[in-house]
Amino acid sequence: MSTRYELVEWEDFGFNLPRSLPYPSAETIAGAVLNIRSANTFVVAVENGIRRPLTEPEESEYQSACHDHMGHIRRAA
């Protein structure tokens, strides 16, 4: 079973349906985080074509990757 990671964005319909963004899925959480451009964007796992929320370890990795990514953006500005 291989897990990939994909960016989704909350649609603003009042009931928050996730919508895929036009970025290819990534093999790592950090790879997916590199494409985040909005506070409404987050990463989900995809296994066998089915989306699922991140597990606790994946969520920790996601938070760390977001922190690193945002620090990189601030340093480059």
Interval 6-22: pLDDT, tens: 988 776 555 555 666 77
Torsion angle of C-alpha atoms 61, 17, 34, 36, degrees rounded to 10: -120
Residue 42, token pair as written in the block = 């987050």
Distance CA 14, CA 17 (A): 9
Whole-prediction pTM value? 0.73
For 63-76, the pLDDT digits (tens) are 999 888 776 554 54
Which pair of tokens denotes residue 14? Answer: 């009042």
Tokens of 64: 């760390």
> What are the tens digits of pLDDT across the range 20-71?
677 778 899 999 888 887 777 888 999 988 889 999 999 999 999 988 877 6
Cα 54 from Cα 7, distance rounded (Å): 12
Give the start-to-end residue ranges of the domains of the chain.
Answer: 3-76
